[in-house]
Homo-oligomer: A and B are copies of this chain.
Amino acid sequence: MIKAGIIGGTGYTGVELLRLLNKHPEVEVVAISSRSLNGQRVDSIFPSLLGHSDLEFSLPDDKSLNECNVVFFATPHGVAMEGAGSFIEKGIKVIDLGADFRISDATEWSKWYDMEHTQAELLKQAVYGLSENNRDQIKNAKLIANPGCYPTAVQLALKPLITNNLVDLSSIVADCKSGVSGAGRAANQAMLLCETSETMKAYGVSGHRHYPEIKQELELLAGEEVGFTFVPHLVPMIRGMHVTLYVDLLDTDTDVRPFFVNTYSNEPFVTILNDGVYPETRSVKSSNFCQIAIQKIPNSNKLVIMSVIDNLVKGASGQAIQNMNIMFDLDEELGLEQIGLLP
């Protein structure tokens, strides 16, 4: 059994790790930390766990964490940066669900996250954990930078086009829509039900922290600069992310479907939908799947790609477990076999 610890388990990615790992046949969660809830039972905070877990929250420096084989950071940015090193030194694998190691350039990171990056050495070791792209490096990684939710949905949608050189890279548009859980569980007036239900809006249009992450990874994939417009929107639902991408095909006559099918033919969690079928976020609710559809626009060279994930699963905790499975040489699907909850 792999012993797992969770640092910062009071948010939505924390409880989602608990939900999934609790049923993972090769993992036991031995510790979960929260400064503010130290000593309280986890099922008193998340009553969905009643009957499933006797865990209590501990302090983040509790020694039980040092007995883990893997530690997940489900913390705001800045925390994993300071805490990851001591685990890695002890040979404990670290998976950071936050943003601390996603951007390889520390200066660029600091610009977007309003904070100095203090761990340049760790940053070099970190592997960007988009499982489908970096499986080999993940296998041997000590430190995983688990991707952001938008970057996951966008990269999976664009990969077949970029690796096969099918589109104009100078002018990609990503119109992205997210459920409210992406904003986390902290008290926040703007995320009250009465402020987010029965309404929608764009936000971060002039610059969102996932933009440099997406751009970095797309350019790595393309080997050249990518012109990328990214507009996130907040949609009145708990879970779910829908990205709609608009690209210009280099050759209007190309049938792009085979490239999508081939790219993902062996991927357990990426599904290419049939012609004329468009994805709904609920089809992947609570599951680790990404469903992708493509639609050529008649009489133009425009291609629309639609991609949906559950932002808390494939966009966060599920992908973290997928990465853990790869790191520990387990079946990649282990603990992630759940079928989406519909309705």
Contacts and interface: CB of A to CB of B under 8 A. Distances in A.
Interface in A164-202: 171, 173, 175, 177, 180-181, 185-189, 191-202
A197 B238 contact: yes
Listed residue (A248, A277, A295, A338) with the most chain B CB atoms within 10 angstroms of its CB: A338
A58 interface: no
Contacts of A295: 205-206
A150 interface: no
Contacts of A199: 237, 240, 280-282, 285
A242 interface: yes
Contacts of A185: 189, 192, 194-195, 343
A191 to B, nearest CB: 5
Contacts of A274: 44
A49 B339 contact: yes
Contacts of A338: 23, 338
A339 B19 CA distance: 6
Contacts of A131: none
A283 interface: yes
A12 interface: yes
Contact of A193 (B192, B276, B298, B340): B192
A277 B240 CA distance: 25
Listed residue (A200, A248, A297) with the most chain B CB atoms within 10 angstroms of its CB: A200
Interface in A300-315: 300, 302, 304, 306, 308
Given A194-B343, A286-B286, 12 more contacts: A19-B339, A47-B273, A47-B277, A47-B342, A48-B284, A173-B302, A175-B246, A191-B193, A200-B240, A201-B278, A206-B298, A236-B236
